[in-house]
Amino acid sequence: MRFVVVTGMSGSGKSTALKMLEDMGFYCVDNLPIFLIDKFVELIAAPNGEITKVALGLDVRAGQSFEEATMVLEGLKNNGYQLEILFMEAEDGVLIKRYKETRRVHPLAAEGRVEEGVRRERKVLENIRSHADYVLDTTHLLTRELKEELDRIFIRNEEYNSLMITVLSFGFKYGIPADADLVFDVRFLPNPFYIDELKHKTGNDAEVQEYVLGFGEAEEFMRKLTDMILFLVPNYVREGKYRLVIAIGCTGGKHRSVTLANELYRRMKDQGNYGLKLYHRDVYNRGM
């Protein structure tokens, strides 16, 4: 039997993940009291049972003690049960924004302050997060991308690490992305903006791609950049990094950066067991 515990920060998408797992054939139970977990697992794992995949949601509602939860889960593992812990999280600012948009009350908010509730919850969940088998950061994940990640882990059973890589194109004239970990400036390449037939196209168009990638400097840059990223990724994973944003910028974020971001994404796509997404921030930006 496959038994998955889904936990993490309130507002990070645990309920959505449970619904997706249910669609994948898991028998899902949300927010079972901790003192019932032992009995539930014992019943569900009985010989000749029909249920082979179970997902259990745990959160801080009703004052759940996660110190006790960690002990219970460790006890089950010691008794031979194969448990996997999926921990969902997001950046504080995003969690606060989600709560304010839905007008819900955070379960640990003191006097209604969401910020305080998020801070306290992160502290409460610190221990169980350190025992997690998978950590999914939903800060920038679309719903379909979350489904893709869950499918990769629990359906395709691919070897998994929690690193999510975003390849991001941008225009320097609109500012460097605040969440970028690595920033590369490709303004050294000739600008298609000054070619009449390419000016109104973007790096998503074949004609622009052929022009930009036709320069030997572009190919050499891509080769060296790809080699460096593939060298860095396993080292980031080893250090426990779970999010990496690689930003590639040109002047307006429409031609060169988009072309090279697309090319880097293509070269990295099947190179490892990390999550990978592509985003063009300024490709349709008409200016400030």
Residue type, 15: S
Residues 197 and 94 in one domain: no
Mean pLDDT of 76-101: 88
Query: What is the tens place of the pLDDT at every residue in 224-235?
Result: 999 999 999 989
Q: What whole-number distance in Å separates Cα of residue 242 and Cα of residue 133? A: 12
Domains: count for the chain: 2
pTM for this model (two decimals):
0.67
Query: Does 267 fall in a domain?
Result: yes
Residues 144 and 14 in one domain: yes
Residues 255 and 233 in one domain: yes
Domain of 246 in residue numbering reads as 164-280
Query: Does 83 fall in a domain?
Result: yes
Query: What is the tens place of the pLDDT at every residue in 192-248?
Result: 999 999 999 999 999 999 999 999 999 999 999 999 999 999 898 888 787 899 999
Residues 124 and 264 in one domain: no
Residues 189 and 256 in one domain: yes
Average pLDDT, the chain: 88
Residues 48 and 115 in one domain: yes
Residues 104 and 169 in one domain: no
